[in-house]
Amino acid sequence: MSEQFEPSERAEAEERLRKAGYSEADVQREVSELEQKSATAARIFDLRRIIGGLFVLYGVIVTIVGITDGDAEIDKAQGININLWTGLGMLALGIFFLVWLKLRPSVPPAQLPVEALEPKD
54 within 8 A of 91, measured Cβ to Cβ: no
User: For residues 90 and 62, what is the distance between their CA atoms, to the nearest angstrom?
Assistant: 9
> What Cα–Cα distance (Å) separates residue 75 from each residue in 62, 81, 102?
17, 9, 40
* 3, amino acid identity: E
What confidence tens digit (pLDDT) does each residue in 61-83 have?
A: 999 999 999 999 999 999 999 99
Whole-number percent of the chain with pLDDT over 70: 69
From the number of C-beta atoms within 10 Å of its C-beta (0-12, 13-18, 19+), residue 70 rates as: exposed
Is residue 54 predicted with pLDDT exceeding 90?
yes
- pLDDT average, residue stretch 89-106: 92
Give φ, ψ of 100 to 5 degrees: -60, -45
Is residue 41 predicted with pLDDT exceeding 70?
no
Greatest alpha-carbon span in the chain: 82
Residue 3 has a pLDDT of 47
Is residue 118 predicted with pLDDT exceeding 70?
no
